[in-house]
Chain A
Amino acid sequence: MSESDRDDEKVHRAVERVARESYGRLVAYLSVHTSDLAGAEDALSEALLKALITWPRHGVPQNPEAWLLTTARHSLIDFFRHQQVALASEPDLLLLTQDSSKAVMETNFPDERLKLLFVCAHPAIDSTMHTPLMLQTVLGLDAVRIAGAFLVSPKTMGQRLVRAKTKIRDGGIRFEVPELHQLPQRLDAVLEAIYAAFGIGWDDLAGVDQRGRDLTQEAIWLARVLLQLVPNDPEVCGLLALMLHCEARRAARRGSDGRYIPLSEQDPKLWSLPLIEEAERHLADASKHGRAGRFQLEAAIQSVHAERGRSGRIEWTAIVRFYEQLNRISPTIGRLTGYAAALAEANGAEQGLAVLDAIGQDAVSSYQPYWAVRAHLLQLLGKSPEAQNAYDRAIGLAEDPAVREFLLQKRA
């Protein structure tokens, strides 16, 4: 490798690093007055492109973030000029031009990412788009990658993202932190969207899928950012604790041969102790507020599982209690299924099955975990033909080949 190649690589890495760390901050800051996310993103990608050309020749600037901000601003201004927008009638543009002169020297600009997160999870935006919007505008993920994770065609995802951004720009959705009385609800939507990203990354992980792995990391990154911006909310702590507990078990989820290993059979020695300890710290912080919520409860369930690493056993009755509290908040199919599995462990398969039987059949027709738990409980009760049938459904609905193989073997 020649010296100039090495320099190029260094610059590439520098650009990547700034992009990764500053993307959301820059997009948020550039769009907070205009509500124009697409415009801000275009300007920023242009600036990143310029960085790749200019930095190898003139060196990486002292403050790369400020350089990108200034360059992106100039692009935005050029764009407005092209659109022949009358300068004086555009207060936003005026603001941009005024700021741009001093931006070069600027080392510190306000972090507007919280407003951006609230915009992405705004109630006026289709809730299925909350997570994709966040992944794109805060983390800079491209539409193709987001589409893959969400099992949507890239073209469709691109169109949906454009539509959502147009609505944000033209629909009067303001970049602001919600008023106190709306805050819990609005924050909940942000948390849900971050957790959805984690869930997709988690499901995707077939041991080899690097992209799936990244999405769980991105979700944890988002939660950390959120915790910085909203340090005193127990549910933010709860969400981070929940994801860290799951992440701690990454290495234990698959055997060395790629075989799927269910949580209760994982080797705790493979769990990451630092991540578990961090999760426990956040959960303890959360509990100081005396306000339990869904993410704290789900984290608490994971905490009980983690406890097996020390005690060698799982306190199923504690898990059952947490599920009961969760179901009082809202009994989703996922929670009822988890509750049934825990109840079966604590009080016998009969009781677990009764919970499953009470769930409407339409709701579960394509919900894989329901069939997997049902098959397991029927097998425990010795109801062989029914168990086989349920295993078939669980196998047929499984997406992960390792899970499919695991169930095929249990069915036999």
Chain B
Amino acid sequence: MQFAFLIYESPEAFATRKSEGTESYTSAWRAYHKALVESGVFVGGDPLEVPETGTTIRIRDGKRGVQDGPYADTKEQLGGFTILELPSLDAALEWAARCPAASYGAVEVRPLAPQIRRKVTE
């Protein structure tokens, strides 16, 4: 079955991406990605731009509302996602623990919902 890893990062971690000396940040992610690919579990995924670049739109009572920034105003923000093919939640949690973000941010593991996808796409 497929799981999404939702990667949550702190403002400091987002800042690290752009600053100098991010060698170990990048190398850790590169190595993790390689391990996922070579173990044959990687399906897809991407990092996201920093939360401030987000724009959130809502239409209520026919009125359009546009807000700068991400949907939820929380300290840790979604920084990227990865989709993996794994046999079980146990296996997914094992991989999530190895994710670099697990030790500086948080990784939420969520199963994809293929039955809903089928309803929507068929």
Interface residues in chain A, defined as those with a beta carbon under 8 Å from any beta carbon in chain B: 151-153, 156, 206, 365-366, 391-401, 404-405, 408, 411
The 4 A-B residue pairs with the shortest CB-CB distance in the complex, in nearest-first order: A396-B35, A395-B31, A396-B31, A401-B103
Q: Which of A152, A153, A206, A397 contacts B98 (CB 8 A)?
A: A397
Q: Which of A153, A366, A399, A400 contacts B89 (CB 8 A)?
A: A153
Q: Which B residues are CB-close (under 8 A) to A411? A: 27
Q: Which B residues are CB-close (under 8 A) to A156? A: 89-90
**B89 x A395 contact (CB < 8 A):** no
**B32 x A396 contact (CB < 8 A):** yes
Query: Could you list some 5 contacts between A and B, CB below 8 A?
Result: A153-B93, A365-B38, A395-B35, A399-B98, A401-B100
Q: Which of A152, A392, A394, A395 contacts B93 (CB 8 A)?
A: A152
Q: How many interface contacts (CB-CB < 8 Å) are there between A and B?
A: 61
Q: Give the Cβ gap from B80 to chain A, nearest Cβ, in Å.
A: 16
Q: Which B residues are CB-close (under 8 A) to A206? A: 103
Q: Give the Cβ gap from B3 to chain A, nearest Cβ, in Å.
A: 12
Interface residues in chain B, defined as those with a beta carbon under 8 Å from any beta carbon in chain A: 23-24, 27-28, 30-36, 38-40, 89-90, 93-94, 97-98, 100, 102-104
In angstroms, Cα B23 to Cα A118, docked, is: 51
**B90 x A398 contact (CB < 8 A):** no
Q: Which of A152, A391, A399 contacts B90 (CB 8 A)?
A: A152
**B94 x A151 contact (CB < 8 A):** yes
In angstroms, Cα B38 to Cα A366, docked, is: 9
Q: Give the Cβ gap from B9 to chain A, nearest Cβ, in Å.
A: 15
In angstroms, Cα B39 to Cα A268, docked, is: 38
**B35 x A397 contact (CB < 8 A):** yes
Knowing that A365-B40, A393-B38, A411-B27 are A-B contacts, what are 4 other residue pairs whose CB atoms are under 8 Å apart, sorted by A's residue number?
Answer: A153-B93, A392-B35, A397-B98, A408-B31
In angstroms, Cα B97 to Cα A401, docked, is: 11
Q: Give the Cβ gap from A17 to chain B, nearest Cβ, in Å.
A: 34
Q: Give the Cβ gap from B22 to chain A, nearest Cβ, in Å.
A: 12
Q: Which B residues are CB-close (under 8 A) to A393? A: 31, 34-35, 38
Q: Which A residues are CB-close (under 8 A) to B40? A: 365
In angstroms, Cα B23 to Cα A405, docked, is: 11
Q: Which A residues are CB-close (under 8 A) to B102? A: 399
**B28 x A408 contact (CB < 8 A):** yes
Considering the complex, give the chain B residue whose CB is closest to the CB of A147.
B93
Q: Which of A366, A400, A401 contacts B35 (CB 8 A)?
A: A366
Considering the complex, give the chain A residue whose CB is closest to the CB of B104.
A401
Given known pairs A405-B24, A408-B28, the reply for A392 and B34 (CB within 8 Å) is: yes
In angstroms, Cα B98 to Cα A151, docked, is: 11
Given known pairs A152-B90, A404-B28, A408-B24, the reply for A398 and B98 (CB within 8 Å) is: yes
**A151 x B38 contact (CB < 8 A):** no
Q: Which B residues are CB-close (under 8 A) to A404? A: 28, 31, 100, 103
Considering the complex, give the chain B residue whose CB is closest to the CB of A365.
B39
**A151 x B93 contact (CB < 8 A):** yes
Q: Give the Cβ gap from B108 to chain A, nearest Cβ, in Å.
A: 12
Q: Give the Cβ gap from A343 to chain B, nearest Cβ, in Å.
A: 26
Q: Which A residues are CB-close (under 8 A) to B34? A: 392-393, 396
Q: Give the Cβ gap from B1 to chain A, nearest Cβ, in Å.
A: 15
In angstroms, Cα B28 to Cα A405, docked, is: 8
In angstroms, Cα B40 to Cα A206, docked, is: 29
Considering the complex, give the chain B residue whose CB is closest to the CB of A391.
B31
In angstroms, Cα B96 to Cα A152, docked, is: 11
Q: Which B residues are CB-close (under 8 A) to A365? A: 38-40
Q: Which A residues are CB-close (under 8 A) to B90? A: 151-152, 156
**B31 x A392 contact (CB < 8 A):** yes
**A392 x B30 contact (CB < 8 A):** yes
In angstroms, Cα B28 to Cα A400, docked, is: 12
Considering the complex, give the chain B residue whose CB is closest to the CB of A389.
B34
In angstroms, Cα B95 to Cα A399, docked, is: 9
The listed residue with most A CB atoms (<10 A of its CB), out of B24, B27, B30, B36, is: B27
Given known pairs A151-B94, A152-B90, the reply for A395 and B28 (CB within 8 Å) is: yes
**A399 x B31 contact (CB < 8 A):** no
The listed residue with most A CB atoms (<10 A of its CB), out of B23, B31, B103, is: B31
Q: Which A residues are CB-close (under 8 A) to B103? A: 206, 399-401, 404
In angstroms, Cα B97 to Cα A152, docked, is: 11
Q: Which A residues are CB-close (under 8 A) to B104? A: 401
**B93 x A396 contact (CB < 8 A):** no
Q: Which of A151, A153, A395, A396 contacts B36 (CB 8 A)?
A: A396
The listed residue with most B CB atoms (<10 A of its CB), out of A206, A365, A397, is: A397
